[in-house]
């Protein structure tokens, strides 16, 4: 099983490059939407017809960070059936992990760099992504 | 009409009315304390706490509640002396007006001359308060009050000044002792007063205790002095009463001796009587006359009268009063008791031959009943008060002593009376002479069982007879009284003290005590407010510092977290990118490999910027830079030159408005850091869509402040993020340029170190940063 549409929210150009490469390895036809901070991600989601299957979300970002994004995102889309969120960050602080995993939408917490194996495991464990 | 404003007005008006009522009641309640501290002679208090209360209320809440003072003063007088009648109404109103003017003018003067609240612990403010509100403003109430009372009391000049001085001092002491503490108590009721409950408790409780102790001690001292003076007075009057009793005893002894002499003498003659009584009369003070009244039966009347005439009194005859009060020959009756011999004859001549047993005249019956009673009990008996024959214009009385002779049959036979004649003024002469030195008055009354007492003598009246009935009411009078039995009559001697018990040195010592107590209370207030104001400021400083420390601590935690992430993140990415490049090179995908390496380079570049900013930040905190002369125009040029190679700098049109002549004294590297960062930001975040992007730098000075304004028509900052723009690691245009997010934070920190601040002003099109720092213009004498 493979992912078809994902969104990567990260302020680092280099991390986008790495993510793209890894995601393309998982599925060469994957559609990747790039956002550089929480606000931009919300703007894109608001304008889009359909939401991506998975949002890979960094924590430390300018303007609106990952935590702030999750708060807004749950506020706006809390009741709807929408994307699952996977944290993708270089922070291994327990605080960050607890705070983000508290949101219903968040299903996993990855530390950078993203690997193909992690994506596959994610797909296996979260079958509902495809529904 | 706006309904909100109307209801607000109503609320304010209701508040004012409530405050006026509270003031009126408080004024009246505290006047009780004033009466408690009342100082002899009694109209004016040693201290009038209500004056302090009134001033404090009007000072705190303003003149709008001054009506409360007027009503309070009026109510106080009405409660004390009853509702004033038409005559005294205007007096009570002017006293109330004086009290009101004192509070209003005093409050105004204090507000005019003071510059800080009373509780700030500033000695100057407290002195201004007591001098203007107390010493000076109390003249108003004292002058008006004294003039008002003078209109009905008609003081002598001395009394007028004494009254004025006492009034002024009483009001002043009341203000000094009660006003500061009341102001402090009330200051919580008005908003923004800045007094804490603790400050209030710390000052008010001890001062109130001090005032209470003062009041109790003052009252005790007053009572002690009073009782001391009273005891002295009681001793003096007791001695006078004792002398009087002695005099009476001597007189009665004289009468008894004469009685015994008559009983023992076979044939009494005028000469014998004269010789016997002369030395006795000399010793008996107050005895007006001593007479022998033999029993004469009607059949012996002629013979008896002839025998007296033969002894050298040719006009002698038995006489009595007719119904008109005229003396005439006594009408015929069974028995007569005429004055046969009387000494001293000259004084008692008019009564010679007068028959005391006659029932005629006003006192005939009274005399006869006493004569009969004395005979029955065989003891001298005194009459009640009446006008004696010898001295019609003065009151007197007579003591009759029956004379019994032993007959041959050994039987006692009543042969006549000895009478002692007294007039009260003569009798009390010895007391009267000493009254002045005892500062006392005196009256003598005869108690008559259920009947009201009869006034025998009163030193207070012109004719020494009874005065007005009110003058015998002993309420609120200092007096002593002593009883004596005068041949069956019970007399009471009453001494009433003239003036007050506390006078002279005692009065002065009480005044000094009051003044001392007031000064002590004021000093206590000053010291306590000073201590608590200092405590308060120390506490404020501690809480401020704690808050600063907490903020710094939070910032430090955030800093540690962010640096650990931001330092680690580019390294993790770079390692992964280099791995990818490595794999790509193995697979001969050179294009992908160089892309990966380019990204890795970019990540590491970011890392370098971050590390350099962190270094700057740590330097800012640790460097203790000293001030130096800085040429601002030159510094601006240097900063511009430094950024000359930055991307996009040359697109900007640079406008400089440096209106500073010469140099300023400032910490140069911090100022330069701000300047360079502002120019760099304007360059980095310029709007590429603008055809004429600009950067405007203006610099000017006002007073001791240096202003640097840097504005542009660049991208600006989204209003949503403006609140956090000076925080650490905040970036608002991540795609436009690379940065650590520390620039603005560094600028603000530097501005604070320079003693000033930096603020952001969003423009309609672009940004404006305003830096204000204290910096003085350098003089020629200043050296770099």
pLDDT, one tens digit per residue, over B222-253 is 888 888 989 999 999 999 999 999 999 999 99
What is the C-alpha to C-alpha distance for residues B643 and B652, in angstroms, rounded to an integer?
Answer: 12
- Which residue, among A10, A36, A62, A93, would best test binding to B if mutated, counting the most B CBs under 10 Å from its CB? A62
Question: pLDDT for B411-465, tens place per residue?
Answer: 888 999 999 999 898 888 888 888 888 889 999 999 988 888 999 999 988 888 8
What is the C-alpha to C-alpha distance for residues B700 and A122, in angstroms, rounded to an integer?
Answer: 62
ipTM of the complex as predicted: 0.91
What is the C-alpha to C-alpha distance for residues B456 and B448, in angstroms, rounded to an integer?
Answer: 12
What is the C-alpha to C-alpha distance for residues B730 and B743, in angstroms, rounded to an integer?
Answer: 9
- Whether residue B783 is predicted with pLDDT greater than 90 in this model: the reply is no
CB contact under 8 A, B603 and A11: no
- Which residue, among B557, B563, B569, would best test binding to A if mutated, counting the most A CBs under 10 Å from its CB? B569
For chain B, list residues whose CB is within 8 angstroms of any CB belonging to chain A: 561-562, 565-566, 568-570, 572-574, 576-577, 580, 595-596, 599-600, 602-603, 606, 718, 721, 729-735, 741
User: Which are the contacts of B97, defined by CB distance < 8 A and separation ≥ 6?
Assistant: B70, B144
Which pair of structure tokens corresponds to residue A95?
Answer: 């605080």
Look up the pTM and report it. 0.60
Query: What string of DSSP letters covers B378-428?
Result: TS-EE--SEE-SS-TTSEEEEEEEEEEEE-TTS-EEEEEEEEEEEEHHHHT
Could you say which DSSP state residue B653 is in?
E
CB contact under 8 A, B734 and A15: no
Q: Are B739 and B612 in contact (CB under 8 A)?
A: no
Which residues of A fall within a CB distance of 8 Å from B718? 63
Nearest CB partner across the interface for B572, out of A63, A90, A93? A90
Question: pLDDT for B350-371, tens place per residue?
Answer: 889 999 888 766 667 778 889 9
What is the C-alpha to C-alpha distance for residues B496 and B472, in angstroms, rounded to an integer?
Answer: 10
pLDDT band with cut points at 50, 70 and 90 for residue B780? low
Choose among B439, B496, B491: nearest CA to B470.
Answer: B496
Write down the pLDDT at residue B87: 76
CB contact under 8 A, B580 and A21: yes
Write down the pLDDT at residue B1: 43
Q: Taking CA atoms, what residue in B is nearest to A114?
A: B576
Q: Taking CA atoms, what residue in B is nearest to A90?
A: B569
Beta bridge partners of B761: B768
Pairing between strand B489-497 and B341-343? unpaired
Helix (H, G, I), strand (E, B) or coil at B195: coil
User: Which are the contacts of B332, defined by CB distance < 8 A and separation ≥ 6?
Assistant: B298
How many residue contacts between A and B have a Cβ separation below 8 Å? 65
CB contact under 8 A, A90 and B603: no
Q: Taking CA atoms, what residue in A is nearest to B728?
A: A62
CB contact under 8 A, A112 and B595: no
For chain A, list residues whose CB is within 8 angstroms of any CB belonging to chain B: 11-15, 17-18, 21, 36-37, 59-63, 89-91, 93, 112-113
- Whether residue B191 is predicted with pLDDT greater than 80 in this model: the reply is no
pLDDT band with cut points at 50, 70 and 90 for residue B37? confident
Which residues of A fall within a CB distance of 8 Å from B741? 62
How far is the alpha carbon of A5 from chain B, nearest alpha carbon, in Å?
23
Q: Taking CA atoms, what residue in A is nearest to B722?
A: A63
How far is the alpha carbon of A16 from chain B, nearest alpha carbon, in Å?
10
Average pLDDT, chain A: 88
A89-93, B387-391, B479-483, B658-662, range with the lowest pLDDT:
B387-391
SS (H, E, C) A7-27: EEECCCHHHHHHHHHHHHHHC
Question: pLDDT for B552-572, tens place per residue?
Answer: 888 888 888 878 888 888 898
Q: Taking CA atoms, what residue in A is nearest to B724?
A: A63
Helix (H, G, I), strand (E, B) or coil at B38: strand
Q: Taking CA atoms, what residue in B is nearest to A61?
A: B731
Which residues of A fall within a CB distance of 8 Å from B599? 13-14, 17-18
Which residues of B fall within a CB distance of 8 Å from A61? 734
């Amino acid at each position: 099983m493979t992912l078809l549409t994902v969104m990567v929210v990260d302020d680092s150009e280099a991390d986008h490059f790495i993510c793209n490469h890894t995601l393309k390895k998982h599925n060469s036809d994957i559609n990747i939407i790039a956002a550089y901070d929480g606000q931009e991600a919300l703007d894109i989601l608001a304008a889009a017809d359909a939401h991506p299957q998975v949002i890979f979300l960094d924590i430390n970002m300018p303007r609106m960070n990952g935590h702030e994004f999750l708060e807004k995102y749950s506020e706006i889309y809390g009741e709807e059936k929408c994307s699952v969120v996977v944290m993708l960050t270089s922070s291994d602080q327990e605080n960050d992990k607890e705070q983000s995993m508290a949101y219903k939408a968040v299903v996993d917490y990855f530390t950078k760099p993203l690997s193909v194996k992690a994506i596959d495991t994610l797909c296996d464990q979260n079958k509902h992504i495809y529904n | 009409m706006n309904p909100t404003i109307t209801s607000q007005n109503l609320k304010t008006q209701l508040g004012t009315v409530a405050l006026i009522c509270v003031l009126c009641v408080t004024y009246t309640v505290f006047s009780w304390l004033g009466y408690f501290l009342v100082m002899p002679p009694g109209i004016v208090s040693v201290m009038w706490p209500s004056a302090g209360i009134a001033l404090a209320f009007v000072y705190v809440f303003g003149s709008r509640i001054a009506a409360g003072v007027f009503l309070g003063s009026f109510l106080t007088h009405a409660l004390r002396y009853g509702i004033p009648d038409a005559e005294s109404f205007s007096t009570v109103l002017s006293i109330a007006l004086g009290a009101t003017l004192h509070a209003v003018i005093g409050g105004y003067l204090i507000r005019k001359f003071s510059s800080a609240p009373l509780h700030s612990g500033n000695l100057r403010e407290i002195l201004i308060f007591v001098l203007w509100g107390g010493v000076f403003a109390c003249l108003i109430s004292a002058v008006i009050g004294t003039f008002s009372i003078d209109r009905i009391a008609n003081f002598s000049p001395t009394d007028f000044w004494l009254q004025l001085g006492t009034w002024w001092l009483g009001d002043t002491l009341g203000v000094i002792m009660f006003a500061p503490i009341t102001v402090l108590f009330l200051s919580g009721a008005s908003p923004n007063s800045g007094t804490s409950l603790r400050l209030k408790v710390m000052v008010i409780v001890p001062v109130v205790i001090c005032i209470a102790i003062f009041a109790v001690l003052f009252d005790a001292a007053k009572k002690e002095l009073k009782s001391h003076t009273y005891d002295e007075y009681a001793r003096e009057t007791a001695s006078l009463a004792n002398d009087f009793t002695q005099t009476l005893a001597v007189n009665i002894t004289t009468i008894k001796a004469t009685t015994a002499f008559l009983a023992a003498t076979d044939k009494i003659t005028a000469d014998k009587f004269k010789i016997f009584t002369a030395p006795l009369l000399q010793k008996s003070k107050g005895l007006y006359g001593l007479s022998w009244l033999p029993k004469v039966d009607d059949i012996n009347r002629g013979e008896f009268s002839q025998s007296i005439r033969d002894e050298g009194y040719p006009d002698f005859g038995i006489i009595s009063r007719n119904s008109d009060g005229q003396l005439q020959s006594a009408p015929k009756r069974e028995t007569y008791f005429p004055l046969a011999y009387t000494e001293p004859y000259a004084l008692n001549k008019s009564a010679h031959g007068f028959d005391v047993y006659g029932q005629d005249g006003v006192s005939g019956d009274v005399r006869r009943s006493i004569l009969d009673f004395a005979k029955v009990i065989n003891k001298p008996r005194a009459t009640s008060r009446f006008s004696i024959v010898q001295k019609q214009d003065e009151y007197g009385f007579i003591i009759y002593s029956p004379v019994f002779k032993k007959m041959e049959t050994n039987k006692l036979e009543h042969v006549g009376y000895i009478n002692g004649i007294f007039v009260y003024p003569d009798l009390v002469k010895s007391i009267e002479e000493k009254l002045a030195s005892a500062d006392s008055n005196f009256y003598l009354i005869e108690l008559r069982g259920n009947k009201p007492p009869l006034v025998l003598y009163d030193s207070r009246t012109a004719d020494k007879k009874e005065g007005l009935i009110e003058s015998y009411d002993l309420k609120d009078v200092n007096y002593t009284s002593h009883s004596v039995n005068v041949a069956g009559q019970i007399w009471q001697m009453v001494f009433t003290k003239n003036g007050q018990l506390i006078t002279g040195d005692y009065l002065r010592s009480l005044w000094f005590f009051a003044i001392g107590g007031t000064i002590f209370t004021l000093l206590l207030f000053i010291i306590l407010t000073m201590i608590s104001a200092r405590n308060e400021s120390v506490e404020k400083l501690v809480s401020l510092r704690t808050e600063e420390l907490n903020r710094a601590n939070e910032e430090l935690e955030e800093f540690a977290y962010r640096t650990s992430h931001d330092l680690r993140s580019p390294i993790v990415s770079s390692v992964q990118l280099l791995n990818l490049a490595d794999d790509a090179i193995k697979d001969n995908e050179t294009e992908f490999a160089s892309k990966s390496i380019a990204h890795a380079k970019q990540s590491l570049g970011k890392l370098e910027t971050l590390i350099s900013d962190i270094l700057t930040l740590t330097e800012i905190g640790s460097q203790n830079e000293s001030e130096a002369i800085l040429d601002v125009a030159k510094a601006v040029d240097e900063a511009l030159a430094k950024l000359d190679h930055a991307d996009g700098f040359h697109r900007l049109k640079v406008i400089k408005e440096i209106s500073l002549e010469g140099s300023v004294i400032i910490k140069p590297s911090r100022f330069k850091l701000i300047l360079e960062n502002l120019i760099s930001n304007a360059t980095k975040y310029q709007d590429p869509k603008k055809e004429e992007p600009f950067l405007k730098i203006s610099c000017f000075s006002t007073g001791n402040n240096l202003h640097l304004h840097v504005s542009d028509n660049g991208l600006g900052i989204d209003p949503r993020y403006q609140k956090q723009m000076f925080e650490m690691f905040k970036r608002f245009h991540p795609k436009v340029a690379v940065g650590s997010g520390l620039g603005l934070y560094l600028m603000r920190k530097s501005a604070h170190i320079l003693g000033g601040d930096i603020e952001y002003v969003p423009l309609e099109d672009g940004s404006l940063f305003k830096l204000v720092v204290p910096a003085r213009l350098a003089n020629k004498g200043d050296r770099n």
